[in-house]
Structure 1
Amino acid sequence: MLYDRILLTGAAGLLGTELRKRLAPKVKFLRSTDIAAMSDAAPNEELVTADLGDLAAAEALVKDIDAIVHFGGLSKDADFASICRVNIVGFQSLYEAARLAGVKRVVFSSSVHAIGFYDQMQIIGTDVPARPDSNYGVAKAFGENLAQLYWDKHGLETVSVRIGSCEPKPSTRRHLLTWLSFEDMWQLVERSLSVPRVGHTIIYGASNNSATFWDNRLASHIGYRPKDSADAWQAEIHTADPHPGREDIVNRLQGGIFAK
């Protein structure tokens, strides 16, 4: 990777926990932060409990940092006031602190929910207009736009990863198209921190599933080559759900239940 000193936000969450153990061996220094307490720091890891909504706290977190892997914030939909405070105001605080500190790059965990109102029959590229399916999706669309602003105006690079369904294994028919394994998630982060130039790149975060509604050709320069696939669970999922409701939003829209 190009960067030696990394800040990981959301480090106590499901995906953050997976990234902590993979990032620490790859960098000289890892600062892991979350609003929740953590334990078992690696020898080169600093654990910090902090609220990103506080600009002063964000400025302290980014001190002497080269790049940020931003997986912090609320991970599910909520009322707009809560989403705004954490996923919008907190996000802006982090970017402004990063700009002031001279951080070079951010890997941002965006989401399928930024484009969740596209139909599952549509194959979409990374350049389509946002169609958020929830308050959570609105915040992710805001994050992508803020990342674009900070690249255009300040030269702060970002890879916005529109994560699909990142969990140990797929469990629904929709996941057969959106599933992202932990190893492929890590590959996306590692590649995003290794490519010499990214500007602001949007990329879909999905494994090598045979069925998909996402086209990543405009992000080919990242060099992401997913190795896992939801196909191994196809028979199991079809058996559990043999007669899906074709008009059910979960089976009709890319964002699934968030669009309800």
Structure 2
Amino acid sequence: MPQRILVTGAAGRIGTLVRPRLAGPDRVLRLLDIAPVPPATGGEQVEPVNASITDLAAMSAASEDVDAIIHLGGIPGEDAWRDILEVNIHGTYTVLEAARRAGVRRVILASSNHAAGFAPLGEGPIPDHLYPRPDTYYGVSKAAGEALGSLYHDRYGLDVVAIRIGACFERPTLERELGIWLSPDDCARLFEAAISVPEPGFRLVWGASANTRGIFSLDAARSLGYQPRDDSEVFAGSVEPATGLSRKFVGGEFCSPDLDAEVTA
């Protein structure tokens, strides 16, 4: 019987990048999003599901007969508090609760560097298990997701791996991203490690490639079996120089009060 993986937010940026990298002859990808999911190509085995991560009944149905969930769904940046609360925080609760009800034993949560965006730069590698220092409501939602994952492990025994993703793009465009870049190939490698490691319990790991200028400890990620292969340094000559808060904090310009003023006015 093929392994079935439910991917929420499958039509989003990271979902689109990793989908072909996660496909395989012995795997079915159940792809959930409120946006249309492109049809299968090549040898992909996919099951599109049009649903919201905030709909518990729909999420519970989508979680049936699933071996693991990769939760990428949500608002991907700063927004009004009421929307962040409903989609990112309540949505993550819904995903975990649906997993519990359906008997899914493994959930991988896409957290973010913005859960610790106010961590200062220049003091050596950013350690694993760093206490949350969110830079935005978006960052708060990711820290809340980590806490929910911890709860669902301790209370219900789910294996939960929360990955604080740096910057997952085809290539970095900013100097800040050279230190936190997670290539799409390495992102898929990290997801595969999180899916396959035996009994991880609750793990909180940084998600980044093997960057020459890397700022994160990758010890916890490597303990899953993750072996990053890519390095942002090949793009160093074509990125925009870092300025202002991007030289001071992990979250860069997300730490600016101007961002807060824009979304709360």
TM-score scaled by structure 2? 0.91
Write out per-residue CA displacement over residues 26-60 of structure 1, whole angstroms, 9 at most, x where no aligned residue.
54322101010122125521101101111111111
Q: What is the rounded CA distance, in whole Å, between the counterparts of 2:230 and 2:37 in structure 1?
A: 29
Q: What is the aligned partner in structure 1 of residue 229 from structure 2?
A: 227
Q: What is the aligned partner in structure 2 of residue 256 from structure 1?
A: 252
- SS at the partner of 2:23? helix
Q: What is the aligned partner in structure 2 of residue 38 from structure 1?
A: 37
Where in structure 2 are the equivalents of 1:152-191 lying within 5 Å?
152-191=154-193
Q: What is the rounded CA distance, in whole Å, between the counterparts of 2:13 and 2:121 in structure 1?
A: 26
| Alpha-carbon offset, residue 215 of structure 1 | 1.2
Where in structure 2 are the equivalents of 1:59-78 lying within 5 Å?
59-78=60-79
- SS at the partner of 1:222? coil
Q: What is the aligned partner in structure 2 of residue 90 from structure 1?
A: 91
Q: What is the rounded CA distance, in whole Å, between the counterparts of 1:251 and 1:124 in structure 2?
A: 14
1:129 and 2:125 correspond: no
Q: What is the rounded CA distance, in whole Å, between the counterparts of 2:65 and 2:36 in structure 1?
A: 22
The answer (yes or no) to whether the contact 1:125–1:218 under 8 Å persists in 2 is no
| Alpha-carbon offset, residue 223 of structure 1 | 1.6
Q: What is the rounded CA distance, in whole Å, between the counterparts of 1:71 and 1:48 in structure 2?
A: 14
Moved over 6 A (4+): none
Write out per-residue CA displacement over residues 70-111 of structure 1, whole angstroms, 9 at most, x where no aligned residue.
111111110110001100111101111111111010111100
Identity %: 40
Q: What is the rounded CA distance, in whole Å, between the counterparts of 2:16 and 2:148 in structure 1?
A: 26
| Alpha-carbon offset, residue 16 of structure 1 | 0.4
Q: What is the rounded CA distance, in whole Å, between the counterparts of 1:49 and 1:219 in structure 2?
A: 32
TM-score scaled by structure 1? 0.92
Q: What is the rounded CA distance, in whole Å, between the counterparts of 1:189 and 1:26 in structure 2?
A: 17
Q: Note the residue ranges of structure 1 that are not aligned, 5 or more in a row.
A: none
Q: What is the rounded CA distance, in whole Å, between the counterparts of 1:29 and 1:230 in structure 2?
A: 31
Q: May I ask how many residue pairs the two structures share in their alignment?
A: 252
How big is the alpha-carbon RMSD for the aligned residues of Structure 1 and Structure 2? 1.5
Q: What is the aligned partner in structure 2 of residue 147 from structure 1?
A: 149
Q: What is the aligned partner in structure 2 of residue 16 from structure 1?
A: 15
Q: What is the aligned partner in structure 1 of residue 103 from structure 2?
A: 102
1:211 and 2:207 correspond: no
- SS at the partner of 1:165? coil
Amino acid at match of 2:180: T
- SS at the partner of 1:190? helix
The answer (yes or no) to whether the contact 2:10–2:31 under 8 Å persists in 1 is yes
The answer (yes or no) to whether the contact 2:206–2:220 under 8 Å persists in 1 is no
The answer (yes or no) to whether the contact 2:74–2:87 under 8 Å persists in 1 is yes
| Alpha-carbon offset, residue 19 of structure 1 | 2.2
